[in-house]
């Protein structure tokens, strides 16, 4: 997050308010832990804690008892370190050549995704004359990251790996963990068990947020949760059990009444069928409200749906306020973009995307309030 620009956009002049409920974050962490107990839950705080600011989020999770944090990149691990004193930090995307020494110096645990990465980390261990901690990822069917099972057998066949490395976990990732009925989950569980049989003394780390709701078979020795901590729906098996963490309200910057036949927005793609009352609000695609919301999404005021008309602009968009009494909205009024009437999932669905993408795109021009 760019704190400089947040200072420039003072509270009073802010185009919108992004409020982040750290109490709800803490409750979400605790409720996931209760679900997996006695298995611990690690926090996934990659991408600046899904856009919510790792400097604010990580200490709350640490206070709530979290001792294991996952990020995507080594750079994120270095940035996280001061906020999670004493905790373990794991790097999901693995080790880039040349990053080994920095990782070893900072006590960061790489997730090794290939033979090459494992060999480079073993070399570093040899040079330093000590065993280095590592997580080994095996690909159980997502074809994204991790060793194919055959390579895992080859790697673990002799004792060299175990001489050099302290294998903290064997890890894999579910491709469809959020889909309760998806048969891929059982397929991946089976592949994970076969892989685990090759290194039976190494604990398994498997479930993401969705996997936590697939049941204890998926919890293994440690779960890794991201989206559920931040209030996103982890599973399609039930209504979202998590507490909402994010609320977004955006300012009205102009209202107007246009006649029938008026064109609205870039390209003039919306033409009013009748006289229409409109409001322009101060957030657009540069603020993480995708252009794909054009003509289809909505915002809310007093629980009333206000449809987006025309195309979403970079810094603003226009909504139809005809459903509100005249004068209900004026310069400076706030409309709800994410909140009790419009969940993250709902706006994501209107935009043709997922809650993860909405969260990680919310820009740094809003005034942020951490409660
Ligand atoms: C992002 C990520 C997670 C967290 O997933 P959620 O669905 O947000 O809980 C866990 N494991 C891996 C490997 C990931 O890339």
pTM of the model: 0.95
What pLDDT score does 10 carry?
52
Spatial contact of 185 and 177, defined as CB atoms under 8 Å apart:
yes
Closest among 197, 192, 198 to 214, alpha carbons compared? 192
State which of 172, 173, 182, 214 you would mutate to test the pocket of ligand 1, scoring each by most atoms of that ligand within 8 A of its C-beta. Answer: 173
Burial environment of residue 102 by CB neighbours within 10 A (0 to 12, 13 to 18, 19 or more)? middle
β 317-320/276-281 pair status: antiparallel
- Which CATH code fits 22-225? 3.20.20.10
> What distance in Å separates the CA atoms of residue 112 and residue 146, rounded to the nearest whole number?
7
Q: Is the pLDDT of residue 152 over 80?
A: yes
Q: Is the pLDDT of residue 6 over 50?
A: no
Comparison of pLDDT for 80 and 4, the residue scoring more: 80
> What distance in Å separates the CA atoms of residue 243 and residue 371, rounded to the nearest whole number?
14
| Neighbouring C-beta atoms of residue 8, cutoff 10 Å | 9
What pLDDT score does 3 carry?
43
- pLDDT category at 13 given cuts 50, 70, 90 is confident
Ligand 1 nearest-atom number relative to CA 209 = 9
> What distance in Å separates the CA atoms of residue 239 and residue 236, rounded to the nearest whole number?
7
> What distance in Å separates the CA atoms of residue 302 and residue 171, rounded to the nearest whole number?
46
Delimit the domains of the chain by residue range: 22-225, 246-370
Distance 330 CA to ligand 1 centre (A): 42
CATH 3.40.50.300 fits 246-370, yes or no: no
Q: Which residues contact 193 (CB under 8 A, 6 or more apart)?
A: none
- pLDDT category at 157 given cuts 50, 70, 90 is confident
Q: Is the pLDDT of residue 240 over 70?
A: yes
Ligand 1 nearest-atom number relative to CA 173 = 13
Give the residues surrounding ligand 1 with Cβ less than 6 Å away.
Answer: 44, 46, 92, 173, 208-210, 224-228
Burial environment of residue 55 by CB neighbours within 10 A (0 to 12, 13 to 18, 19 or more)? middle
Q: Which residues contact 38 (CB under 8 A, 6 or more apart)?
A: none
Q: Is the pLDDT of residue 4 over 50?
A: no
């Amino acid at each position: 997050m760019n704190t400089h620009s947040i200072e420039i956009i003072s509270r009073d002049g802010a185009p919108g308010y992004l409020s982040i409920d750290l109490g709800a974050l803490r409750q979400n962490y605790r409720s996931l832990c209760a679900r997996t107990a006695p298995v611990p839950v690690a926090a996934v705080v990659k991408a600046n804690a899904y856009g919510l600011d790792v400097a604010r989020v990580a200490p709350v999770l640490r206070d709530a008892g979290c001792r294991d944090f996952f990020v995507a990149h080594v750079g994120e691990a270095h940035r996280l370190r001061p906020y999670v004193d004493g905790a373990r930090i794991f790097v999901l995307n693995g080790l880039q050549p040349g990053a080994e020494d920095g990782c070893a110096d900072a006590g960061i645990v790489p997730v090794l995704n290939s033979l090459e990465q494992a060999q480079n980390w073993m070399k570093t261990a040899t040079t330093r004359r000590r065993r280095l901690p590592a997580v080994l990822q095996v690909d159980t069917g997502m074809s994204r990251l991790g060793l194919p099972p055959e390579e895992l057998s080859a790697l673990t066949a002799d004792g060299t790996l175990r001489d050099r490395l302290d294998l903290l976990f064997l890890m894999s990732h579910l491709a469809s963990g959020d889909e309760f009925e998806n048969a891929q989950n059982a397929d991946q569980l089976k592949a994970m068990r076969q892989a685990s049989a090759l290194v039976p003394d190494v604990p398994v780390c498997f479930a993401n947020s969705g996997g936590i709701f697939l049941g204890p078979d998926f919890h293994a020795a440690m779960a890794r949760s991201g989206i559920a901590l931040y209030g996103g729906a982890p599973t399609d098996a039930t209504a979202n059990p998590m507490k909402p963490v994010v609320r977004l309200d955006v300012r009205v910057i102009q209202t107007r009444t246009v006649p029938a036949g008026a064109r609205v927005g870039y390209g003039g793609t919306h033409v009013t069928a009748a006289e229409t009352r409109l409001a322009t609000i101060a957030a657009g695609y540069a603020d993480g409200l995708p252009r794909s919301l054009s003509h289809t999404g909505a915002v809310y005021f007093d629980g009333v749906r206000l449809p987006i008309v025309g195309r979403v602009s970079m810094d603003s968009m226009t909504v139809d306020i005809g459903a509100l009494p005249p004068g209900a909205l004026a310069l400076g009024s706030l409309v709800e973009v994410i909140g009790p009437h419009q969940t993250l999932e709902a706006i994501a669905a209107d935009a043709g995307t997922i809650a993860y993408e909405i969260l990680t795109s919310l820009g740094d021009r809003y005034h942020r309030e951490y409660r």
